[in-house]
């Protein structure tokens, strides 16, 4: 009986402790992530929205306002390109031939994985776009990286260097599109609300098919001059270059969902953007150092510390794959700062934690990988009991008296 009684007491304490965590109003160190909770700020990749509009379109001002607000809030990891089709013949042709345009405004997300047509108000458009972006964030993608550097050469001339790296175990096929845009239109392109269009598409630097072997890369360099392409008002501080890689796997898309204006959709695997610099090069940050436990138990929150040194002294943020389907992205912090991020595992396994560092000039480090084991055996129970005894010292005194 003396052996059974302590076991019953331990069981009662364990159950009561877990019950408090599950239904209590305070946030304990044990935190269970809800399946409907937005899991990340940055998902499997950065999302690209391609916005079809025209200066005469009445409802397009709501779509434009929603995009501007979402982008400035910075909570969702995406870029957008504005195709003002009545002002740019390249945009007109692209929207018609590539997406079989139905009408304005239309947002094609990630190459047509999600499509939003129309906009009745800014709040309604923001809600629709947020839903589409979150759906894209959780999409499985091929493992490719884009390195993009833009150097301003003076006047309206810039040098654009782009590299696509295939990290897949087989040949990667797709298309690279590198778009030159103005952050705010200098051409007087405004919506019907009187607001100057933003992220306006000018031209492509590259728009080429890719076939990259395992571990290989594609690279190209181009000197592009705004004046010679009809954009003499372009400036260094108002220019942004956005690169996206589209997979060559074909899907059925509709520019007027659910089943009208069909087009061949090629989903995006990666997207990056950068702004030009004055002939300076950027060194990527060092692969992050990761400090944290190597063993644990389920439903316990653990702290992990990340640190990376950037050779140019830029601020750094971290992109973290926890190995259980969850991903986190930190905010930018000063170079060399320790950043602590907490995570809870909900099942038993050995998980590979991967992290890379990004600097404010689009520099990207290599991956760092560590492991944490959430045991499957009796050791897990012993660890849990020790953890509970540490948290509930009075329980230890009771058990000591019983024995």
Give CA–CA dist 61/55, Å, rounded: 9
Burial of 238 (0-12, 13-18, 19+ CB in 10 A): middle
Helices (H), 87-165: 89-99, 122-137
Q: What is the pLDDT of residue 383?
A: 53
Closest CA to 247 of 153, 134, 150, 164: 164
Question: How far is CA 126 from each of CA 3, 44, 110, 139, rounded to the nearest angstrom?
Answer: 61, 21, 17, 20
pTM of the model: 0.62
Give CA–CA dist 146/172, Å, rounded: 13
Q: Is the dihedral of CA 260, 263, 268, 269 positive or negative?
A: positive
DSSP 3-state of 338? coil
Burial of 26 (0-12, 13-18, 19+ CB in 10 A): exposed
Q: Tell me the domain boundaries of the chain.
A: 42-279, 284-381
Q: What is the pLDDT of residue 39?
A: 37
Question: How far is CA 298 from each of CA 29, 35, 348, rounded to the nearest angstrom?
Answer: 12, 16, 6
- Residue keyed to tokens 């929205």: 49
Contact 187, 233 (CB under 8 A): yes
Q: What is the pLDDT of residue 74?
A: 86
Q: What is the pLDDT of residue 400?
A: 58
Give CA–CA dist 243/206, Å, rounded: 9
Torsional class of 201: left (φ above 0), alpha (ψ -120 to 50), beta (otherwise): beta
Q: What is the pLDDT of residue 389?
A: 58
| Edge-to-edge strand list for the sheet holding 217-225 | 144-154, 157-166, 217-225
Structure tokens at 94: 């692209």
Pick the CATH number of 42-279 from 3.40.630.40, 2.120.10.30, 2.60.40.10, 3.30.2090.10: 2.60.40.10
CATH of domain 284-381: 2.60.40.10
Q: What is the pLDDT of residue 16?
A: 36
pLDDT in tens, the chain (403 residues): 444 444 444 444 433 333 332 322 222 222 223 333 333 345 789 999 999 999 999 999 999 999 999 999 988 999 999 999 999 999 999 999 999 999 999 999 999 999 999 999 999 999 999 999 999 998 999 999 999 999 999 899 999 999 999 999 999 999 999 999 999 999 999 999 999 999 999 999 999 999 999 989 999 999 999 999 999 999 999 999 999 999 999 999 999 999 999 999 999 999 999 998 744 456 889 999 999 999 999 999 999 999 999 988 888 999 999 999 888 989 889 999 999 999 999 999 999 999 999 888 778 888 999 999 998 644 445 555 665 655 566 665 666 566 5
């Amino acid at each position: 009986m003396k052996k059974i009684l302590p076991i019953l007491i331990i069981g009662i304490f364990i159950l009561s402790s877990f019950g408090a965590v599950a239904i209590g109003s305070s946030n304990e160190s044990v935190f269970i992530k809800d399946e409907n909770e937005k899991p990340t700020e940055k998902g499997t990749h950065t999302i690209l929205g391609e916005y079809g509009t025209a200066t005469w379109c009445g409802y397009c001002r709501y779509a434009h306002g929603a995009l501007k607000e979402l982008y400035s809030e910075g909570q969702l990891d995406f870029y957008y390109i504005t195709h003002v089709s009545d002002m740019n013949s390249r945009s007109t042709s692209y929207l018609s031939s590539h997406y079989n345009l139905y009408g304005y405004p239309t947002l094609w997300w990630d190459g047509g994985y999600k499509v939003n047509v129309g906009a009745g108000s800014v709040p309604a458009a923001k809600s629709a776009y947020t839903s589409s972006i979150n759906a894209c964030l959780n999409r499985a993608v091929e493992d490719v990286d884009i390195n993009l550097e833009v150097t301003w050469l003076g006047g309206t001339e810039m040098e654009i260097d782009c590299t696509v790296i295939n990290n897949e175990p087989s040949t990667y096929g797709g298309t690279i599109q590198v778009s030159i845009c103005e952050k705010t239109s200098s051409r007087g392109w405004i919506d019907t609300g009187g607001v100057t269009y933003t992220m306006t598409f000018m031209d492509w630097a590259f728009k080429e098919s890719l076939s990259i072997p395992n571990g290989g890369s594609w690279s190209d360099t181009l000197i592009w001059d705004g004046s010679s392409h009809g954009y003499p008002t372009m400036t260094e501080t108002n220019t942004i270059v956005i690169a996206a890689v589209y997979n060559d796997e074909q899907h059925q898309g509709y520019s007027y969902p659910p089943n009208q204006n069909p087009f061949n959709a090629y989903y995006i695997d990666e997207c990056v953007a950068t702004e030009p610099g004055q002939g300076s090069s950027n060194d990527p940050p060092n692969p992050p150092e990761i400090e944290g436990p190597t063993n644990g138990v389920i439903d316990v929150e653990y702290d992990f510390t990340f640190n990376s040194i950037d050779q140019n002294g830029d601020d750094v943020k971290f992109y973290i794959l926890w190995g259980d389907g969850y991903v986190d992205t930190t905010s930018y912090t000063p170079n060399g700062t320790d950043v602590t991020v907490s995570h809870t595992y909900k099942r038993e396994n050995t998980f590979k934690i991967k992290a890379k560092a990004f600097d404010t000039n689009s520099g990207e480090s290599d991956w760092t990988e560590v492991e944490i084991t959430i045991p499957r055996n009796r050791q897990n129970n012993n660890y849990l009991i020790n953890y509970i005894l540490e948290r509930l010292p009075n329980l230890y005194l009771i058990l000591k008296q019983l024995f």
